Structure 1
Amino acid sequence: MRTSMITLQRPLSRRLMPLAYALVGMVGLILALTWGALQVQTALAGFLNGESIWSKAQKQTVIALDAYATKGDAADLANYKLNYDLLMADHWVREQIASGNYDYDAVAGALRRSRTVTIAIPGVIFILHHFADAPYMRDALQAWRSTDSSIAELDTIATALKAGYATGGISYAEILRQRERIATINSFIEPRSKLFSRAVADGAVWIGQVLFGGVLAAAAIAALLWLGMARRILASVRGTEERYRLLFDSAADAIVMVDEASGRILDVNRTASAWTGRDVDSLVGDRFVHLFVQSLSGQQQAGRAATNALLGANGGTRPVETQTSLVNWGSQPVRQAIIRDISERVAMEQERRVAAEALASIAEGVIIADAARHVISTNAAHTDLTGFTTQALYGKRLDDTRRLPDGRPLPQSIWDDVAAGHNWLGEVLNTRSDGSSYPEQLSISAIRNADSQVVYYVAVFTDIHEAKTNQQRLEHLARHDPLTGLVNRAEFERYCTGAIAVAERERLAVVVLFIDLDAFKIVNDSYSHAIGDRLLIKVGERIRRQLSDGDVAGRIGGDEFTVLIPRLILREDARAIVSRLLATLSEPLLVDDYEIVLSASIGVAGYPLDGDNAAALIANADAAMYAAKTEERNAFRFYTPLMHADTRQRLQLATELRQALARNEFHLVFQPSIELRTGRIVAVEALLRWQHPERGEVLPAEFIPVAEGLGLIRRIDEWVMQATCAQIQAWDLAGVPPIRVAVNISARWFGHPAFVDGVSRTLQSRQLSAQRLLLEITESAMLQLGDATERTMRTLHALGIAVAIDDFGTGYSSMAYLKLPAVAYLKIDRSFVTGLPGDTNDAAITEAMLAMSRSLGLITIAEGIETEAQHDFLLRAGCMEGQGYLYSYPLKPDEIQHLLCPNQPPVPARLRLVPPKRT
């Protein structure tokens, strides 16, 4: 709390009129003596004042220099220089007067600058000039002169410290050494300063004693005259007090008068009473500190204005700032406290603090620039984004590092729009501290004064490099296949549409190639889908390498690729590039550690002959590809209108196949399986047939691939399973001897999680033993299922259901599957049986499979036996069972029942069982 001591002096306002003509002579003498005494006292007062100022300046010089040595604060150095200059001014005055030849006005001016009382300056000069050798004065001047060299040394230290701090090279040890020197000098000066002060004071006492006697008589007369003046003085004081009270109570700030000794309130004004909610009587006598939430003692010692909270009515508080000054009311020291309401200032500071914290914490970079666009402040996010600190950019224009995306400087129109009251938002290119550039979203607005003039610009920006990269990546993914990087179907059609438009204007041809890899499914089934994906990537690369500038390659799904060849003269001009593509795609591909050989079928369609839009060209090229794959593979075909007839037929078949399940158009036939040694029927195989209402009977080879493509094969398999179990149950009820019934299972259903439960529930619902059912699954289907095969096999084995591996030897034969639980039968494919016994290769393969089956304990079943020679060879080689037209064609259920129960009434049959000839 800032404090000052004010002594209220009441100057003599007027001279007293002579009380009597007789006293004129004595009064004149007294006045002369009084005048002389006043001059001497004034000189002494000036001298004492100068001594006090000099002593304080000397002390403050040491203190300020020591503080500067400790902290290096420029304010401390300035304080030192101020006091040092005062000492030097006094030194110069002393030496000038001592020389006897001096400029009076210059000396008087120096004393005024050293804050000597103006009225005492002539007396000080007079004493120094004429009474330098007077008692006590000689000792004082000698003590003063003895400090000259020490004070000069202080200035030498100050110069050294200033140079050290300016270069930043001053060490901690050097600071300690200089402080020790300062302390040593202070130890030398301090006793001499005290000696100087004591000598001056003793001199003043001595002169005072001399003057006392002469003034005493005049003082006695003055005391008599004072009584006469008292009445008038009291009246004047009474009027002054009334004016003071009026001003006191009307002040906007709260004013409290406090007894310095006791700390109790002596008086308050009306504002203080209103703010505290207490009347004047309750406040007077209370302790001053009781008015505040916190103690004021520590703040008073700090020598600054104190902020506190003033207690109000009903427990409320009011933020205030308190300043005090110490005055003397007569002999009583009184502290006058002025309490100012700072609620509005506190609220504004709080708002500024919140705004500053919010500015510092936001993720976007913020720049504040002056009206000339020079940067004056930035937030932490700005430094993180650009690498530039506020100090690095201070004074530079905020648009110095920014350009439009095309490299041009920010145009003046931006600043004109902002100055006109608009906000500007746009994309710019900014430069970081390391010289790199990045795109940012920049928003610029202006802060205006009361006259609507721009005072500051505020720029907020965000790094949008990652967002733009993500956008470009998403746009690329939207137009390209994520696996191969080729364009997708939509983008390929867009390129195709553009090429057709150019060809129409320039009377050219455009060709679309539809490429499908042959037997790609086998690669996925035999290796893995990951290998298949990497194979597709390499295929895409090979296709791209065969293309010219302007050609476009795309992948529109699975293993299907498309190629656009624009600006040809004729459709047939594409023959050369098609031949190159066939050749390059038939070359071996190395994927990881596997060498894979593929081929491709390519369909060719051209504008304007085969279509006038992108969709038509792609569809017709697809039809041509299908024709190439169906007829030959590893070949290409140009589109002809007849190709769409086959496509339409396949689409029609797909539609009718969906309806077949709903209309119950499927039925089963059963082909017997004969024990070769005895010739008896030991099993039958359930075979699916489709009785089309218009086409008649449709064989599985025609509709099963379509069903697999449509995803209907699982529903068909479930129907076959339920129909087979129902037929077994019907045979049992009819008294047919129990035989094994084999059912073909597709890979899609076999690998389904609900497969085993479905089979088990079907058997239970028909009350059938698991041994009555044999599940046939092809070797390639087991390879496709992978690790899931073993889990399914173990579950089936636990249920007692046997499994036969069908078409063994026609695919990628894996001996590991023969060891799986539930595998009890091995079916030899008809492709090996057809050449028996004349084909030595077929014979050797068949004998090897039979030998392997015997060693593994598997029952072998040969398919497609049509001759007695085949029967005899297989019997001798150890085959256990056989199927084929030699024994029987597939039969209806009632025909099977008649074969197994010959004593039952005959059932008319178109086919009869032909038993093999016995040898």
Structure 2
Amino acid sequence: MGIARTTLQRPLSRRLMPLAYALVVMVGLILALTWGALQVQITLAGFLNGESLWSKAQKQSVIDLEAYATGGNAADLADFRRNYAILETDRWARDAIASGSFDQVKVRQAFDRGGVIPEAIPGMIFILDHFSSAPHMSGALQAWYSTDDSIAQLGDIARELQDAHAGNGLSDAGIVQQRNRIHTLSRYIEPRTNIFSLEIARGAAWIGRILFGSVFGIACIAMLMWLSMARRILVSVRGSEERYRLLFDSAADAIVMVDEASGRILDVNHTASVWTGRDADELIGDRFVHLFTQPLSGQQAGRAASNALLGADGSKRPIETQSSLAHWGNQPVRQAIIRDISERVAMEQERRVAAEALASIAEGVIIADAERRVISTNAAQVQLTGFTSKALQGKRLDDNRRLPGGKPLPQSIWDNVAAGHNWLGEVQTTRNDGSSYPEHLSISTIRNADNQVVHYVAVLTDVHEAKASQRRLEHLARHDPLTGLANRAEFERCCSEAIAVAERERLAAVVLFIDLDAFKIVNDSYSHAIGDRLLVKVGERIRRQLSDGDVAGRIGGDEFTVLIPRLGLREDARAIINRLLVTLSEPVLVDDYEIVLSASIGVAGYPLDGDNAAALIANADAAMYAAKTEERNTFRFYTPMMHADTRRRLQLATELRQALARNEFQLVFQPSIELRSGRIVAVEALLRWQHPERGEVLPGEFIPVAESLGLIRRIDEWVMQATCAQIQAWDLAGVPPIRVAVNVSARWFGHPAFVDGVSRALQSRQLSAQRLLLEITESAMLRLGDDTERTMRTLHTLGIEVAIDDFGTGYSSMSYLKLPAVAYLKIDRSFVTGLPGNTNDAAITEAMLAMSKSLGLTTIAEGIETEAQHDFLLRAGCVEGQGYLYSYPLQANEIQHLLCPNQPLVPARLRLVPPRRT
């Protein structure tokens, strides 16, 4: 550190030398002798230092070459060549000086590359050039010359090894041979190196003794004079240094003085210490490049370069450096001025971010001057309008924009914006190709320090898609997404408007409530996708029958509504109703299926049937239910009695939920007779509801309600448990074992837990599977689809038999008759009623009996009420029969009375319910 600061002061001392003119001769002589002695010592020290470096390079080259001979590693060869280059450089400098004609600069550079102390290089050149034959020097040089051939041989060995490794490599013997050569050369060179060092040291001692005596004498004389003069000089120098340090440390920029040769810091000012967070003592001696995050290579003197200054805490300060080369004596020093550019970098970053944001923003942006003439635009604006920024230069930004009505943008907009407000609104913008689009335009201003408008900024957004999406959303909010008809909310709104018009003009407005008959069967039999496409076609058919002003809607499932405004009377809607019934009953082709449906329509009109939309729709719904219940494929006008029926259904639904909890259900049993013998072979369990107030309620009244409420499965399970319990009770009472048939709904039959439920019911009562016969209707089996076959196979595995009930009334799918569990076929009463007189019923019944016989199925005829029917069926081959001819449904104890072996035999079957004889 002290050396660095002394170096700083030396040029000033020399500038003050004229003050000592009186002592110049004496001091000059002392300085000359002293300088000569020092230079000699420095030179000898340089020789020793150079020899040390040369010796190290020689030894390291031997080590590297031996390692390369052994391993062939290119890195070892590179290390050898680096150390060998030092030996060659020193040898070349020595020989150049010895030749007598040499370039002083090149020789200095050669010694400098060899690592010789820079201060010693001039003296070394001088001694080698003029005193090479001086005592001890000649011996040292002779020892140096003697090693040239050996060093050259090391270079030859290196080339041989490189060629060998580049080829097929060296054998082990070759490696040993080369290593022996290297060792031999090393042993030759080393003692001569020692001789060189010894001779140089002796020469230094000899010259030192001579010079010491001379210098000592003169120095003593000059010392007194020098001390007197030095006192005055130091006072002057101290003042100069203080002024220099004051200016140096007070600079706003950081200043760093750097040794050009080593790159180490010689001095720093106060600002540099503050910015780096390190004291000057810590910085001096450190390498200049360590202050920055980026390398300094490529930086040109006198030119500013950007970088980042590292702080002691790891912080980074954006800076700009500019350096210039100066000399302190013979020492090149680089003065680096470091300027803080944090504010400039921040501003540039903000500008860059703003520019990138403007370029990448999805909305179009136009910047115009105070006259509204376009200055610049972003890429999004070009995509929106097709106008490039160049094409818009000088044009007013409102030239191709109009209000939605076609009028130009009024001056009030610009006055409002100039007053300090932003303007937002929709305009119609013309593109470069002449087309136009709706645009959301936002206009704001940029003002100067005097609050005057200098720029307008317009942000553009194409709202065509947004408006289209809004229209689509509004349409979806008011229309059914499947059929495109009005939904319930929109239909009620239209009804309200029609009622208001009818009230004002004293007219009628009619609402039709349309429900498709048996749509659920179609949905279950085919698929919901087919059902959806069917609903779309139904909606199209309804729409085609309507006039302008009429409104069609779909309010859920297969329920459609129609509004017919401006009628004179409610009854005037008959014509369109009849057209709807006809068109909806025509076959509908959906994919590859031809589907035939019908519809039930309810009619309610203002003002007779309601004075608001909700009332009209509800009353039309009630009328539709009456049409579906009574006939189907027809229509009914609303009457107040229909709501009474609706309320009764709702009341029935409430009571039905309580019936299971209160155990109000009971079973009755109708015998099934073997036609040939008249023997009772089975009974069918029939459900009855014993209502506490209304008495017995028949299944036809409450079963549809139970199905709509989802209670039918619980009722089926109760029937199954009660039937199995009754079979067990009869067995314990000694009643002969007979088959008991139980009706099963499609909902329970298709449930995953159905088979397990039946199996558990039988096991809980320890009953054989042959005691139970499950009856399911043909239409229910069709509704279940593929699940039917799976369930039937499982029932067959358990030994449970199934009877197809109401056969012939559905779609008569013969494939179900082949299922394993199907063992019985029940002929519906609709075919038995016309026997034997109706030839069609007779032909159909005989065909079913013949088919059943060929398939091995047992036939059971339902609804036998006359002897003629009995005789016809017996002759046709029917096995069993049920009907009032034999018995009404009976209580369990009555069945026991008929079948118990301990009771007297029951007379002929006709005594139970005597038939009417003809």
State the match for 2:564 in structure 1.
565
Change (3 A) 1:272 1:754: same
Contact kept, 8 Å, 1:309 with 1:319, in 2: the verdict is: yes
Distance 1:840 1:471 in 2: 66
Give secondary structure in 1 for the equivalent of 2:844. helix
Aligned to 1:485: 484
Q: What is aligned with 2:730? A: 731
Aligned residue identity for 1:487: A
Give me the whole-angstrom Cα distance separating, in 2, the residues matched to 1:355 and 1:272. Answer: 33
Tell me the TM-score normalized by structure 1: 0.66
Partner of 2:741: 742
The range that moved more, 858-867 or 314-323, is 314-323
Question: Which SS does the other structure have where 1:500 is aligned?
Answer: helix
Change (3 A) 1:409 1:779: farther
Q: Could you give the per-residue CA deviations for residues 384-436 of structure 1, whole angstroms, max 9, x where no partner exists?
A: 66666655656555555555555555555455444444444445555666665
**Counterparts of residues 714-725 of structure 1 (less than 5 Å):** 714-725=713-724
Q: For residues 757 and 342 of structure 2, what CA distance do their matches in structure 1 show?
A: 82
1:798 corresponds to: 797
Q: CA RMSD in A?
A: 3.9
- Corresponding residue for residue 818 of structure 1: 817
- Offset of 1:684 from its aligned partner? 0.8
Amino acid at match of 1:495: C
**Cα distance in 2 between the residues matched to 1:285 and 1:834:** 124
Provide the residue aligned with 1:180 in structure 2.
none
Q: Partners of 2:409 and 2:329 in 1: how far apart?
A: 74
Q: How far apart are the structure 1 equivalents of 2:753 and 2:372?
A: 73
Structure 2 equivalent of residue 663 of structure 1:
662
Cα distance in 1, alignment partners of residues 590 and 816 from structure 2: 26
Match of 2:105 in 1: none
Q: Matches of residues 686-835 of structure 1 in structure 2 within 5 Å?
A: 686-835=685-834
| Farther-moved stretch of structure 1 (885-894 vs 562-571) | 562-571
CA–CA distance in structure 1, aligned partners of residues 576 and 515 of structure 2: 16
Equivalent-residue separation in structure 2 for 1:881 and 1:512 (angstroms):
51
Distance in structure 2 (CA, Å) of the matches to 1:287 and 1:876: 125
SS in structure 2 of the partner of residue 300 of structure 1: coil
Task: Check 1:462–1:843 CA distance in 2 against 1; reply closer, same or farther (3 A cut).
Answer: same
Per the TM alignment, residue 741 of structure 1 is displaced from its structure 2 partner at its CA by 0.9
Matches within 5 A, 1:94-133: none
Match of 1:555? 554
For structure 1, the 5+ residue unaligned runs are 1-234
CA distance in 1, matches of 2:679, 2:499: 69
| AA in 1 matched with 2:509 | V
Q: Which residue identity does 2:716 align to in structure 1?
A: D
Partners in 2 of 1:701 and 1:727 — Cα distance?
24
Residue aligning to 1:500: 499
Q: How does 1:26-65 map to 2 (within 5 A)?
A: none
Alignment of 1:394-793 (within 5 A): 397-399=396-398, 402-429=401-428, 437-439=436-438, 441-460=440-459, 463-524=462-523, 527-793=526-792
Structure 1 residue 494: Cα displacement: 1.3
Amino acid at match of 1:794: R
**Partner residue in 2 for 1:250:** 250
Provide, for residues 134-157 of structure 1, a one-character-per-residue CA deviation record: whole Å limited to 9, x for no partner: xxxxxxxxxxxxxxxxxxxxxxxx
Stretches of structure 2 that go unaligned for 5 or more consecutive residues are: 1-234
Greater Cα offset, 496-505 or 582-591: 582-591
Q: 1:280 to 1:649 in 2, by over 3 A?
A: closer
Does the aligned pair in 1 maintain the 2:865–2:915 contact within 8 Å? no
Alignment of 1:253-264 (within 5 A): 253-257=253-257
C-alpha distance in 2, partners of 1:804/1:281?
Answer: 110
Structure 1 partner of 2:90: none
Specify the code of the residue in structure 1 equivalent to 2:775.
E
1:717-748 C-alpha deviation (Å, 9 max, x unpaired) = 22212211221122122222222111111112
1:561 match: secondary structure: strand
Q: 1:369 offset after TM fit, Å?
A: 4.9
Distance of aligned partners of 1:661 and 1:430 in 2 relative to their CA distance in 1, 3 Å threshold: farther
SS of aligned partner of 1:888: coil
Percent of aligned positions with the same letter in both sequences?
89
The equivalent of 1:179 in structure 2 is none
Q: Does the CA-based 8 Å contact 1:488-1:556 persist in structure 2?
A: yes
Q: Is the 8 A contact 1:889 1:911 kept in 2?
A: no
| CA distance, structure 2, for counterparts of residue 598 and residue 314 of structure 1 | 86
3-state secondary structure, aligned to 1:865: coil
Q: Which residue of 2 aligns with 1:300?
A: 300
User: Where does 1:323-402 land on structure 2 (aligned, <5 Å)?
Assistant: 323-326=322-325, 335-354=334-353, 356=355, 368-374=367-373, 397-399=396-398, 402=401
Query: 1:172: which partner in 2?
Result: none
The whole-number CA distance in structure 1 between the counterparts of 2:845 and 2:679 is 23
Task: Give the deviation of 1:776 after TM superposition.
Answer: 0.6
Shift of 1:447: 4.2
SS in structure 2 of the partner of residue 555 of structure 1: strand
Could you tell me how far 1:589 is from its partner in structure 2? 3.7
- 1:763-816 CA distance string (max 9 Å, x none): 222222222211111101111111221222222222222111101111110011
Q: Contact 2:886 / 2:910 at 8 angstroms: preserved in 1?
A: no
Contact 1:446 1:456 (8 Å CA) reproduced: yes
Name the SS of the counterpart of 2:640 in structure 1.
coil
Once the two structures are superposed, residues 626-675 of structure 1 have per-residue CA deviations (whole angstroms, 9 ceiling, x without a partner) of 44445554444433434444444434433333333333222110011122
Report how far residue 257 of structure 1 moved.
4.7
> Map of 1:184-195 to 2, 5 A cutoff?
none
Aligned to 2:862: 863
Cα displacement string for residues 202-253 of structure 1 (whole angstroms, at most 9, x for unaligned residues): xxxxxxxxxxxxxxxxxxxxxxxxxxxxxxxxx9999999876654443211
3-state SS of 1:473 partner: helix
CA contact (8 A) 1:679 1:916 kept: no
**1:102 aligns to what?**
none
Cα–Cα, structure 1 residues 315 and 480, in superposed 2: closer, same or farther, change >3 Å? closer
In structure 2, what is the Cα distance between the partners aligned to 1:267 and 1:653? 106
- Tell whether the 8 Å contact from 2:525 to 2:785 is kept in structure 1 after alignment: no
| Whole-Å separation in 1 of the counterparts to 2:444 and 2:414 | 9
CA contact (8 A) 1:898 1:906 kept: no
* Residues 646 and 548 (structure 1), Cα distance of their counterparts in 2 relative to 1, 3 Å cut: same
The answer to whether the 8 Å contact 1:513/1:564 transfers is yes
| Post-superposition CA distance 1:312-364 (Å, at most 9, x none) | 54665533211134567899876443221223333444444455555555655
